[in-house]
Structure 1
Amino acid sequence: MKVLAAMSGGVDSAVAAARAVDAGHDVTGVHLALSKNPQSFRSGARGCCSREDSHDARRAADVLGIPFYVWDLSDRFAADVVDDFVAEYAAGRTPNPCLRCNEKIKFSAVLDRGIALGYDAVCTGHYARLVRTDDAIELHRAADAEKDQSYVLGVLTPDQLKRSYFPLGTSVKAEVRAEAARRGLAVADKPDSHDICFIPDGDTAGFLERRLGERPGAIVDESGTRLGEHAGSHRFTIGQRRGLKLGDPAGDGKPRYVLDISPVTNTVTVGPRESLEVGEIVGIRPSRLGWSGERRRAEVQVRAHGAALPAEVIMDDDGCRAVLDQPATGIAPGQALVIYDGSRVIASATIDRATTDTMTAVPGPA
């Protein structure tokens, strides 16, 4: 099989490419240049896609003895990931840029170009498992629960999964680093990248303000009483506690949390933690990965490393609703709602809203 190995310059993608070579595949390494003006070096574990990362990827490919290329996808990344990120915050939502990058770049732009060049699959260092059957392919959680990335892959289509290859799905991170050291890969001890790759200094609010401008507005309580002023609603997300900078404490002395963000009025509503509790999550733009019914018991995950929440889920072509067994907090519109049957991802949607109201849950076949 001809395999295109996406090599970020980190330890995971390097070992994934090595395992593809060991499996007898015809492997070519490719590093994605996603920034128009990349930094020369990474700042510890912050960011990625620097010139240092490109050099690390090339050195790993040299050790493995495979061809290596750099593909400039900076225009596509800027349009599909960065601009989307800014637009979502401007609309009062909280996007997940890693999920969007997987959907639009790694498994769309790269896969499409790879197929056009005669490759059969794209190999990455994601921690997730693929189970292939006679008539389907299943996406499952990784063996390493702490590193599991099935959530950010839940937006992929069945056709994309059929041409995906995740060699690290059955491994834990310590094993991967030890293997990299044994293979003589210089990235064996390189820190994992964290935060948002295109905001290497970690200042998300500053990044957004440079693109959206200063947009001061009111911070109000649930009754609409003005409590203070914010420097821009893009600085907040649902469930946030820190950074409100309200001089007067709440009447009961308890902390306040962000309950709602209204881009129309540029208002941030705050209140007690119990007001964050929701019982139903409504999703739009649904996508199925093996679930063909309309109603079933399942578990839903609402953030990349969040807990799986038992729920009853109803889905059709227009959207889905998840009625939670127990109330949850901090559900942010714009994030993904990924639906699991045990370890298997069976569907996903984009969170549109969450409410305290719940529909009457009618038991249905699994």
Structure 2
Amino acid sequence: MQADFQLGPDLKGKRIVVAMSGGVDSSVVAALAARSGAETIGVTLQLYDHGAAVGRTGSCCAGQDIRDARAVCDKLGIAHYVFDHESAFRTSVIDQFADEYLAGRTPIPCVRCNMGVKFTDLFRLARELGADALATGHYVRRVLGPEGPELHRAADPARDQSYFLFATTREQLDFLRFPLGGMPKPEVRAIAAELGLGVAAKPDSQDICFVPDGDYARLVRKLRPEAETEGEIVDLTGRVLGRHKGLIHFTVGQRKGLELGGQPEPLYVIRLDAAEQRVIVGPKRALAVGAARLSDINWIGGSYTGSLTAKVRSLAKPVPAALDGDRILFPQGEYGVSPGQAAVLYAGDRVLGGGWIEATEAAELAVAA
């Protein structure tokens, strides 16, 4: 097993709170923290109704997950606390998720969760418990730079979660630790197996834990029945090509499900007009975006002024970009840029910050202000 837990000399023998979701990653973080000699406390936020979540696969912080986290803490001989945050999670994450779809946007609930219950509330709880640091199982790296802690991509590109943590503040980085950022997943599972943790082979949770079957539309329909308001499908000139059964069934860049036969070329969803309940479609070239306006920009890059790259989707490759006030510019054009998603800015592997995409400008129309 890895001999050294990456806490830093300032935390040797101190008190560490570990955010435990019940999965293998956070369980190994707790094990490594306890092995380092630090006083370790596991904290789990209950985000669902305990009974309703029993036996659910692909979830997080509910039912069986809470029992798994408690079992790990019992085996490690460390304290474990569960805090009920179901109401806060529903308001700040699930309801917001439904409202974004209703507004014709494509939400990222994992970022909202990290911004709210996963970090803000856990920070408060950790400090109330007298902790010197909060450790999580996220696959990112915390690197000490000349201006203080920096957030970097994980060493394993396949596991990197930096896109979802762009809203992390400098104050939070001072308090956070990410011990798994330099490890590949097989090594993490091997540590869990070596320690005899029951979660060693537990499957990873899904990206959107509260939609375990992947049917987003059904969830939104349940929470917001008006989401299935029908409307027109039109081309870029406004010509009506067909009808749809609700904006919740479409996202920018989508091709399947339009059911528009007899067209001279393949058509894609270019944008969604919630005010008019319209789906605007066009050829693939019309998806190219030259600029996007951002809101709630979070900058943790300090005095960095060099060249940037940006990711506009969690699985997208970083592309050259520039930040001009609240606009991000894509000199080569970028595809799949959707309001509601995040644009995350990088300098190499370092996360500089990012913001929420509010609106986009077609590549042929975008010019620097």
TM-score, scaled to structure 2: 0.91
1:160 aligned onto 2:160? no
Question: 2:44 — aligned with what?
Answer: 31
Out of 271, 285, 308, which is 2:318 matched to? 308
Cα deviation for residue 358 of structure 1 reads 2.9
d(CA) in 2 for partners of 1:360 and 1:78? 39
d(CA) in 2 for partners of 1:303 and 1:107? 21
Cα deviation for residue 232 of structure 1 reads 1.0
Task: Show CA shifts across 1:158-179 (max 9, x none).
Answer: 1111111111011011111111
Out of 260, 265, 268, which is 2:276 matched to? 265
For residues 133-172 of structure 1, the aligned pairs below 5 Å read 133=145, 135-172=147-184
For residues 59-208 of structure 1, the aligned pairs below 5 Å read 59-133=71-145, 135-208=147-220
For residue 61 of structure 2, give the secondary structure of its aligned residue in structure 1: coil
d(CA) in 1 for partners of 2:262 and 2:22? 47
Q: 1:300 touches 1:311 (CA, 8 Å); kept in 2?
A: yes
Look up the equivalent residue of 1:145 and give its one-letter code: P
Question: 2:332 — aligned with what?
Answer: 326
d(CA) in 2 for partners of 1:261 and 1:189? 41
When structure 1 is superposed on structure 2, of 194-203 and 343-352 the one drifting more is: 194-203
d(CA) in 2 for partners of 1:276 and 1:24? 54
Task: Show CA shifts across 1:129-153 (max 9, x none).
Answer: 0012464110000001010011111
1:19 aligned onto 2:15? no
For residue 70 of structure 2, give the secondary structure of its aligned residue in structure 1: helix
Question: 2:10 — aligned with what?
Answer: none
Task: Show CA shifts across 1:59-101 (max 9, x none).
Answer: 1111211111111111111111111111111111111000110
Cα deviation for residue 47 of structure 1 reads 2.7
Equivalenced residues, count:
351
Q: 1:42 touches 1:48 (CA, 8 Å); kept in 2?
A: no
For residue 334 of structure 1, give the secondary structure of its aligned residue in structure 2: coil
Task: Show CA shifts across 1:183-208 (max 9, x none).
Answer: 11111111111141111222101111
Out of 196, 209, 227, which is 2:241 matched to? 227
For residue 180 of structure 1, give the secondary structure of its aligned residue in structure 2: helix
For residue 243 of structure 1, give the secondary structure of its aligned residue in structure 2: coil
1:275 aligned onto 2:289? no
Look up the equivalent residue of 2:141 and give its one-letter code: R
For residue 134 of structure 2, give the secondary structure of its aligned residue in structure 1: strand
| Superposition RMSD in Å | 1.7
Identity level (%)? 43
Cα deviation for residue 296 of structure 1 reads 4.5
Q: 1:3 touches 1:26 (CA, 8 Å); kept in 2?
A: yes
Question: 2:355 — aligned with what?
Answer: 349
d(CA) in 1 for partners of 2:185 and 2:46? 25
Alpha-carbon distance change, 175 to 52 in structure 1, aligned in 2, over 3 angstroms: same
Q: 2:312 touches 2:336 (CA, 8 Å); kept in 1?
A: no
d(CA) in 2 for partners of 1:285 and 1:140? 21
Question: 1:298 — aligned with what?
Answer: 308
When structure 1 is superposed on structure 2, of 82-91 and 139-148 the one drifting more is: 82-91
- Name segments (4+ residues, structure 1) moved above 3 Å: none
Q: Which runs of 5 or more residues in structure 2 are unaligned?
A: 1-13
For residue 345 of structure 1, give the secondary structure of its aligned residue in structure 2: strand
d(CA) in 2 for partners of 1:56 and 1:127? 21
For residue 83 of structure 2, give the secondary structure of its aligned residue in structure 1: strand
Q: 1:216 touches 1:230 (CA, 8 Å); kept in 2?
A: yes
Look up the equivalent residue of 2:283 and give its one-letter code: P
For residue 84 of structure 1, give the secondary structure of its aligned residue in structure 2: helix
Q: 1:47 touches 1:195 (CA, 8 Å); kept in 2?
A: no
For residue 186 of structure 1, give the secondary structure of its aligned residue in structure 2: coil
d(CA) in 2 for partners of 1:276 and 1:79? 33
Alpha-carbon distance change, 312 to 195 in structure 1, aligned in 2, over 3 angstroms: closer
Look up the equivalent residue of 1:336 and give its one-letter code: A
d(CA) in 2 for partners of 1:249 and 1:62? 63
Q: 2:147 touches 2:302 (CA, 8 Å); kept in 1?
A: no
Question: 1:364 — aligned with what?
Answer: none
Q: 2:48 touches 2:86 (CA, 8 Å); kept in 1?
A: yes
1:284 aligned onto 2:292? no
When structure 1 is superposed on structure 2, of 31-40 and 2-11 the one drifting more is: 31-40
Task: Show CA shifts across 1:205-231 (max 9, x none).
Answer: 111111221311111111212222211
Q: 1:126 touches 1:149 (CA, 8 Å); kept in 2?
A: yes
